[in-house]
Structure 1
Amino acid sequence: MIKKLSILVMIFSLIVLSSCSNKPIKEHSSSTHNLEALSTIESNNRLLTQIYQVAETGKVSKDKWKSGEDTIMEVEKDWGLADNKSEANSGTYATYEKKQVVFGFNEKGQIYDLRSHSNKLQHITQKETEQVLGAPDEIRHFQEQNIYVYQINQTYQLKLIFPPATDNTDRKLSHISVVYLPWDPSVNETDPSYSIDTMTITEKIGQLMMIGLESTSIDQQATYYIKQKKVGGFILLKKNIENTQQTVDFINDLKRNNDNQIPLFLGIDEEGGRITRLPEEISATPSSQAIGKRNDSDWSYQVGKLLAKKVKAFGFNINFAPVLDVNSNPNNPVIGDRSFGDEPELVSNMAIAQMKGLAAENVMPVGKHFPGHGDTAVDSHIDLPLLDHSLERLQQVELVPFQQAIDHGVEAMMIGHLMVPSIDPDNPATLSEEMIQGVLRNELGFDGLVISDDLTMGAILENYEIGDAAVQAIQAGTDLLLICHGYDQIDAVFDAMEEAVANGEISMQNLDDSVDRVLKLKEKYGITNEKMESIDVEQLNQEIKEILQTE
């Protein structure tokens, strides 16, 4: 009897509690609304976070398509023809209604604008967007729409489009767009804020020089090149780097002494593997060959970001990587494991991913060594290598990664000291108008910054007077000269350049075109003379460890 009574009491208590908990909801319908709204907000917040994360990879959803990587031909092969296509000033747009996806592509069929009109997006408001993603980098207006623009990195831009609200409430999202900037026809190049018109001849010539130093701290000669010659940048080699704090102090001193309005390019060769210049206390990253063997473009991208984080922490803004050479000659004395592999497509995929990783961290990548150092038997540091292949063979092997990198927006390319008789029987690539203007610019379509390999390498010094070589390189189409060793060699280049400009061997138009390319990239990458603080080596190494543990 007592047991039955206890059960009845428990049931009665549960009924009372249930009634009490339901009473406010029944009496106040707004409470139900608030609970639903909270659920929607949480869902929208998660969705906004996901949108931003996938946009970093060039996507708008979990579908495989990537802006800046895929073509409309690949989409049509997989999804069939679009429901409709429309022309706009910026290109052609293909709409797939059932997929709620639109592809914007250029005349080559390359997708640069990827849009999603998913129903899930259309409950997100402007206010929620700002709460989760912060204020947009820019708000644009088109046909009464508000377009929130988030600059994801140097490669991708995320746009969220909000049409006007009919009832004057918070606007709700219509669709999103991920734009691959290097291919976007609507992105107009702006003139750099540094005015070429007000620059002296000395300042212009200086901007075309990136030089090495013989010391581990700023010396009188470095100060002279900065203040008197207005040099455009420095490259630091292993001999200049002793430890972390010394390197940070060295770079800060170079910046501090730059009284020019134009900041310095500060470059380094940090490829990973055996080609590293950074202090030993910074953890190593894998060689290109190791990355190629894994054949995972996402991982190559992450390693590219690591390389950028490492060099950026010291104050460098240029990394002379990735290597685009196809390692087709196993006896090659200089490339070897610096290459991603012996297949052009593998090299292309891994190098482009690494290039994007570097750029995502706002470090300027430089593809090298055009037209391809992989099938040579001589080290260009010692003498002049011969690449004795027909143009047809070059187009099938050596040039493939360079063409792919150009198609994916590479902005700077290093020219190797290579004799290619099928293109120019008289001059190495660095000094060849046929190679630079003919092949690289006209045939491959590269309009970015052309950088010479080091002019103090044996390939040049054993065969040319360095001043003459520097002038010929600029005449051939090189924009930025790399002179890594010897103050006497640097002086000789400055003297020869000044004389060539004075006597008209280098035209003012030629000079200004190269300076313009330099300044635009300094502006684009936000390069400044801002001082770097000391490096948290432990934190940096932990980041490296976390990525490499996914190996």
Structure 2
Amino acid sequence: MLAAAVLGFVGCTTPVATTDAPTPTATPPAASPSVGEETALPTPTSVESPPAVGQEVCSALVDRLTPEDRIGQLFMVGKTSTEPVGEDYRRMLTESRAGHVVLLGNSRDGTAGIKELTDNLRRAATETEGIGLFVAVDQEGGAVQRLKGPGFDNMPAARVQANRPLPELQRSAQHWARQLSAAGVDVNLAPVADIVPADHVADNAPIGQLERHYGETLDEVGPRVEAVVRGLDEAGLASSLKHFPGLGRVAGNTDFTGNVADNAIGRRDAGLAAFRVGIDAGADMVMIATASYERIDPGVPAAFSAVVIDRMLRGDMGFTGVVISDDLGAAQQVADIPPGERAVRFLAAGGDIVINGDAGLQSEMTQAVRDRAAADPEFNEEIKAKATRVLIMKANRGAVSCLPS
């Protein structure tokens, strides 16, 4: 899970704006099934495909890109937020054509210092056809707040945020997102939609022990996930639900531990509805966990599973947006798989953006995807479709122009 110390992941806040925001409305049913129970997921009601004309224009833009530039849009590469942009990193951005960067480490440089860094990253990146670099960060609150210092509030953990009334939580999310936007950040890799049942909190290393969850039931988590997604959107930031299909019942942290598996979640688990709420609220992305799920696709990390990505997320849940991986670079969970194979397997399973927390591995990952695309015409066509989805998301957030005004 892209949120632990290996990637720089480990209050009182300043007052937030008091203007009224709409109260989130897409709450789960009052008598929702218990997490862990199998239930038929409702038919998606508010997930819409991109406008046809926008799809065509963005697809035409993708056709004009070189194969290298298309593939570059499918990577998000880690950059330590406490160090300047060095020559090695500049060279990596140029050679890989990476379209996204994720800031790692715990910075106290404030909005001014981070804005200088993001400006330098954009100057270092190769901009083709007016496609801007996207900069992301994990800014959940509590132990997982990457950016602090002047201009950034000290954000409480999600479990504490959950005590706020929903309209206030939505306003808070908007307020914190505006601080990120002022620092040149485009994406907050949040909110966490994982449900951690009460009897798992103490031994759930990735979520429960860090208080990253909004609650222990669907009725607690769903409305709060919606409020945060809407708050981020109101501030113009892209969001990412995580970590599908859920890390709330595993013991190990996939950043530090291998062979992390969930033996409880099934394909129709009631807890998946928390992700559905976030999707219906307009989440730009869904992040896929690297744990394996024995009742879904035994022995296969979810990030490499077409059952999880294509059949569950795309098919069962109707998600048409961008599918992003949890870290496939520095995470111990995937360390025994060659880096290039990790990237290819995620994309072949249906994913769109590979997160690589170790920039030193980027050349190997990029080359493996280029080689597979050159040798496999079907995979190459899938690359074009993935790049189109990514550009539609970036267009919606102002980083490229390929949607009708």
> Normalized against structure 1, the TM-score is what?
0.61
Instruction: Report the equivalent of 1:231.
Output: 98
Q: Are positions 1:266 and 2:135 aligned together? A: yes
Contact 2:48 2:320 in 1 (8 A): no
1:368 is displaced (CA, Å) by 0.4
Answer whether contact 1:216 1:239 (CA < 8 A) is retained: no
What CA deviation, in whole Å up to 9, does each residue of 1:111-151 have, x standing for no partner? xxxxxxxxxxxxxxxxxxxxxxxxxxxxxxxxxxxxxxxxx
Alpha-carbon spacing, 1:259–1:309, altered in 2? closer, same or farther (3 Å): same
Opposite residue 387 of structure 1, the aligned amino acid is D
- Structure 1 residue 409: deviation in Å? 2.6
Q: CA deviation at 1:283?
A: 2.3
Instruction: Determine the structure 1 residue equivalent to 2:33.
Output: none
Secondary structure at the residue paired with 2:242?
Answer: strand
Question: Does the 8 Å contact 1:232/1:265 carry over to 2?
Answer: yes
Shift of 1:309: 1.1
Cα gap change, 1:218/1:520 in structure 2, threshold over 3 Å: closer, same or farther?
same
Counterpart secondary structure, 1:391: coil
Contact 1:475 1:506 survives alignment (8 Å): no
1:57 aligns with 2:14: no
User: Matched residues in 2 for 1:258 and 1:276: separation?
Assistant: 25
Look up the SS of the partner of 2:96 in the other structure.
Answer: coil
Q: Name the CA shift for 1:485/1:259 in 2 (closer, same or farther; >3 Å).
A: closer
Q: Is the 8 A contact 1:264 1:528 kept in 2?
A: no
Deviation at 1:270, TM superposition (A): 0.2
Aligned residue runs from structure 1 range 321-400, under 5 A = 321-328=190-197, 329-330=200-201, 331-336=203-208, 337-383=211-257, 384-389=259-264, 391=266, 395-397=269-271, 399-400=272-273
1:201 aligns with 2:67: yes
The alpha-carbon distance between structure 1 residues 297 and 243, as it changes in their structure 2 partners (threshold 3 A), is: closer
Query: What pairs up with 1:70-469 in 2 under 5 angstroms?
Result: 190-191=54-55, 192=57, 195-214=61-80, 216-238=83-105, 242-260=109-127, 261-281=130-150, 282-292=152-162, 294=163, 296-328=165-197, 329-330=200-201, 331-336=203-208, 337-383=211-257, 384-389=259-264, 391=266, 395-397=269-271, 399-469=272-342
Distance 1:375 1:486, change over 3 A: same
* Bigger mean CA offset, 343-352 vs 239-248: 239-248
CA 1:332–1:186 in 2, change beyond 3 Å: closer, same or farther?
closer
Higher relative contact order (CA 8 A, sep 6+): 2
For residues 452 and 373 of structure 1, what CA distance do their matches in structure 2 show? 14
- The answer on whether the counterparts of 2:99 and 2:133 sit within 8 Å (CA) in structure 1 is yes
Whole-Å separation in 2 of the counterparts to 1:234 and 1:458: 17
1:510 alignment partner AA: E
Preserved contact between residue 207 and residue 232 of structure 1 (Cα < 8 Å): yes
CA contact (8 A) 1:500 1:506 kept: no
Q: Secondary structure at the match of 1:213?
A: strand
Q: Does the 8 A contact of 1:301 with 1:357 survive in 2?
A: yes
The answer to whether 1:69 aligns with 2:26 is yes
SS at match of 1:228: helix
How far apart are the structure 1 equivalents of 2:49 and 2:313? 21
Q: Using the TM superposition, give the Cα deviation of residue 239 of structure 1 relative to its aligned residue in structure 2, in angstroms.
A: 5.4
In the aligned structure 1, how far is the partner of 2:103 from the partner of 2:191?
Answer: 17
Residues 301, 356 of structure 1: 8 Å contact kept: yes
Whether the 8 Å CA contact 2:172–2:231 is kept in 1: the answer is yes
1:253-293 Cα shifts (integer Å, max 9, x gaps): 1112334121011000000112111133332122110122x
Q: Which runs of 5+ in 2 are unaligned?
A: 1-18, 31-41
How far apart are the structure 1 equivalents of 2:392 and 2:97?
17
Matches within 5 A, 1:507-526: 507-526=379-398
Percent of aligned pairs with the same residue? Answer: 24
Q: Would the aligned equivalents of 2:111 and 2:182 in 1 still touch at CA under 8 Å?
A: no
Q: 1:212/1:506 Cα in 2 relative to 1: closer, same or farther (>3 Å)?
A: farther
Deviates more, 1:192-201 or 1:425-434: 192-201
Distance in 2 (alpha carbons) for counterparts of 1:466 and 1:109: 35
Give the conservation status (yes or no) of the 8 Å contact 1:370–1:402: yes
What stretches of structure 1 of length at least 5 have no aligned partner?
A: 1-52, 59-65, 75-106, 111-181, 530-551
**186 and 423 in structure 1: CA distance in 2 versus 1, 3 angstrom threshold:** closer
Seen in structure 2, the aligned counterparts of structure 1 residues 382 and 288 have a Cα distance that, compared at 3 Å, is: same
Residues 400 and 109 of structure 1, relative CA distance in 2, 3 Å threshold: closer
- Does the CA-based 8 Å contact 1:332-1:376 persist in structure 2? yes
Q: Is the 8 A contact 2:391 2:400 kept in 1?
A: no
CA contact under 8 A between 1:233 and 1:265: conserved in structure 2? yes
Aligned length: 360
Q: State the SS of the aligned residue for 2:287.
A: strand
What one-letter code is carried by the residue in structure 2 that aligns with 1:314? A
Q: Which has the greater radius of gyration?
A: 1
Q: Retained in 1: the 8 A contact 2:106–2:148?
A: no
Instruction: Supply the AA of the counterpart residue of 2:373.
Output: V
> 2:251 is paired with a residue of what secondary structure?
coil
In 2, distance between residues paired with 1:450 and 1:364? 13
User: CA-to-partner distance for each residue in 1:201-231, whole Å, 9 max, x for gaps?
Assistant: 1001100011013571111122223333221
Aligned-pair CA distance for 1:188: 5.3
Q: 1:186 to 1:311 in 2, by over 3 A?
A: closer
Cα pair distance change 1:390/1:460, threshold 3 Å: closer
TM-score by length of 2: 0.82
Please give the residue correspondences for 1:463-502 in structure 2 after superposition, counting only pairs within 5 Å: 463-487=336-360, 489-502=361-374
